[in-house]
Structure 1
């Protein structure tokens, strides 16, 4: 079973760059939000999937979103702004579901990919899909149950 291990260098907004490791994402210049999908979807065999995102630099306006989306969701926005997309936004602490409002992270369906979105000049995040020990390993020792 293939599980997400890194961000997909070829499946991202032009406003974002992904480092060689595939784990760090940086927001470049621009005024629009951009997102990136993981290299593999979450397996349907996983009843629970866990990953951690470290905010390296929140950037100028702190607009960073973490969530899930399917393969056809536009990457020119934040997680949760489009149908089949769900996200938590750090700038306002709100959860977004399919078009920018509503309850997120309930009844998620389809082939879902972890994704992050940034709209914050200087913003930078790093993901841990389980290649190293999780910071909250006491609670989540595995990434797929």
Structure 2
């Protein structure tokens, strides 16, 4: 029985959802050192610059920022080191095949604990064009304005 239960969000990559069309998501485990886990438990991390690549049949996450543990000694980790991801062979093969087709990339979306174990949600994504980003922002703004109008109308009707 794990000491912790449930899901605890550490970091999310909102920029990835803005910059990419998310096609498929996967949950992967992370190979971490002790100081990295302690730093994550403090709730400080960033996935904004992070990316995933596949090398020699293994998935790796590069440039995700996990700050050094404040109470760590000389055994502390490097903040932007390469970290191995734990995925099933079929998932790795699928991701590798899709990225070889062209125009596809793998980005981290969320970093979280599930029952005390660090997990990262990764996505197979396709880059958005500039006009796609503007269209998404316009749709969000229209939706917000419609909700605002409905709220005021409902208040007036009471």
Name the TM-score, length of structure 2 as normaliser: 0.23
Bigger Rg over Cα: 2
Name the TM-score, length of structure 1 as normaliser: 0.24
Considering fraction of residues, name the structure with more helix: 2
